[in-house]
A and B are shown apart, each in its own frame.
Chain A
């Protein structure tokens, strides 16, 4: 009797032990993301006018769908980081000139957060800070000397300007989740994309906790004529410059000759 009682008392501890004793092989989360992308590369051609990527997937689970706690999915797509400077104008001696500036060491060139429900309802601050999901947290490292006392208006302005040019987006409700199992997000890429490796992240949240994540890269690159011109401009700038001038001179001469023909039929 006594042994049974002791076992009953220790049971929760014993059951919890394996996870604590063997941290090297963590238990798989009860619910896992299985995801795919409609394409894992984007080619920038001369007629490139933006693109659309479908990020889709399913939630794999061994057990029944847990009842009660809500399930949410957050999808992010992030472009290569760039260093930039935000400047602020003030009126001095009657004219508006740039006075303050804040340098941002790495801000994504493109960033989209798509969610199943409004982001502030489903993502607690602690989880946001850990995974850097919301737009303000996606910007990292400030660089250079801080010339201003308060950098907040500058970062806010950066986000406002980038949102206005459609480079940063928060699409609440853009992820569709069916039967707590299948999800899909359509992410539109604008035409003013920068070349590089973009990263997709998918977060699975149950009751405000991130229970699984998934990552996949998307390569965005120039192809054909775009690629050739870009390489030439960077690797053989003198030849590229001469070529640009030759085109200009030939076009100038061509137009002149064409008009002479038109004038003298």
Chain B
């Protein structure tokens, strides 16, 4: 079932797009990541021009994360206060990231920077999460019931001023590290063309010390708004959002996200984190191979005249 995409100007199989959306939606519901780091490379692979893949990916992330948020709101696993503060930082960071991205593309080599960013961040985060969750699983297996996370350790983060009470997370910490996490994720998200959930989730767990159950809902909440902002920026500044492509991805995505959320409620937090860590490491490995192995085709075509 071929369908012609009006903005991308290519014809693709509609069922393939729905399937792709479904897989990414499943990840989204399961792990609380937007799935941008998966959908964008997958769209390149089926022949969608990169700029359109990035912008339309953001649009699809809005739908799947919104659907996920609604499910989490029902389960009361969203810390709205934390979400708004993170979003505040995120919008500032995202705007700065877009500026940085434009600067990098004037210098050339923006592709390389993006690819290196992916490899470095996915590698670091994946390895960290895998190590931590394996250790937690091991501990749980040896001493019976799972020990609660060491949430009330008082590190350097807890000494900062401007303290706020985040009741849903059971935290009383300074707003500054929360804003900084939001901003850092916003910058990286804009450069890498993703929502940033795969960075946000571990940052919330390991830097802010939030409980895993609240982390996913809150991350989805802030990703919904951040990727809506990114979509709008792309639509206005470069006309690269293909709504036809987005609708097909969304149809698969929202369905996948719902299944993922209900599946996630049945799995243990440590198992979820191991799965996410393996997924992140897998994508990282694939991208690293692309950098280190000799490509089949050394030449590539980019539309337009580069500066």
Contact = CB atoms under 8 A, between A and B. Distances in A.
A238 interface: yes
Interface stretch (A4-12, A210-218, A254-262): A254-262
Q: How large, as a class, is the contact surface on chain A?
A: 35 or more
A43 B55 CA distance: 27
B70 A230 contact: no
A94 interface: yes
A65 interface: no
A84 B303 contact: yes
Contacts of B149: none
Most B CB atoms within 10 A — which of A88, A90, A241?
A: A241
B62 A249 contact: yes
Most B CB atoms within 10 A — which of A49, A194, A240, A245?
A: A245
B7 A229 contact: yes
Contacts of B232: 238, 241-242, 245
A243 interface: yes
A84 B235 contact: no
Given A95-B292, A238-B232, A255-B257, A229 B299 contact: no
Interface in B226-260: 228, 231-232, 234-236, 239, 241, 243-244, 246-247, 250-251, 254-255, 257-258
A101 B235 CA distance: 29
Contact of A251 (B2, B6, B254): B254
A221 B107 CA distance: 36
A34 interface: no
A157 B304 contact: no
Contacts, number: 195
Contact of B247 (A191, A247, A252): A247
A248 B111 contact: no
Contact of B231 (A94, A245, A255): A245
Contacts of A259: 71, 258, 262
A95 B235 contact: no
Contacts of A161: 297, 299-301
B305 A103 contact: yes
B236 A241 contact: yes
B302 A47 contact: no
Contact of B63 (A96, A238, A252): A252
5 A-B pairs with the lowest CB-CB distances in the bound complex, closest first: A241-B235, A191-B11, A255-B254, A252-B66, A157-B299
16 contacts: A50-B11, A87-B300, A87-B302, A88-B299, A89-B295, A89-B299, A98-B300, A161-B300, A192-B11, A192-B47, A245-B228, A247-B63, A251-B63, A251-B67, A252-B62, A252-B250
